[in-house]
Amino acid sequence: MARRYYVCPVVTELQADGSTYVYAKVAHYVGQIKGYVAHIPSDPSTGLPLRNWALVCVEADDHSLLLADAAFEALPWKDALDDALTLPQAAKDKLAARGIDLSGITTMRQLVRAIGQRLHASFDERAFGVSS
């Protein structure tokens, strides 16, 4: 089973009772993946997500469905979070467009932290299931 990180859309659905159901689009793949965790900070006054995208960590034997979904931005795959990281220019451009500061990022752990902290300043990758 392999762990991989993605940036994916946040889906907001209005329910029949007037409440709002918010989830990461990766939930559409439950049953085809082993599991996932998503970081979706919300506005305390409205309960709605602060951004229309989420950072997700997915565990699956086969990531091909997610990799084929154009709505997902797959982060580079690394054996370990502290392995050296080289981002292609297209990935840098997409992340920079989301306001993610890439200066000084040399490992996957730093990249996951930078994306998470763009969503919420207190993000800690160790509490996100990132421990290897």
Q: Which of 64-73, 83-92, 112-121 has the lowest mean pLDDT?
A: 83-92
For the chain, what percent of residues have pLDDT higher than 70?
A: 95
43 residue type, one letter: D
Q: Span 104-132, mean pLDDT? A: 84
For the CA atoms of 54, 58, 64, 70, the dihedral, rounded to the nearest 10 degrees, stands at 0
Residues 89-108: tens digit of each pLDDT: 888 899 999 999 999 999 98
Question: How would residue 64 be classed by pLDDT, with cut points 50, 70 and 90?
Answer: very high
Residue 67's SS3 state is helix
pLDDT confidence band for 24 (50 / 70 / 90)? very high
> What's the pLDDT at 126?
82
Q: Where are the domains of the chain?
A: 2-128
Contact 128, 119 (CB under 8 A): no
Local structure of 127: helix, strand or coil: helix
Beta bridge mates, 12: 22
Check whether 56 has a pLDDT greater than 50.
yes
pLDDT score, position 47: 86
Length of the chain: 132
Q: What is the pLDDT of residues 5-18, one digit of tens each?
A: 999 999 999 999 98
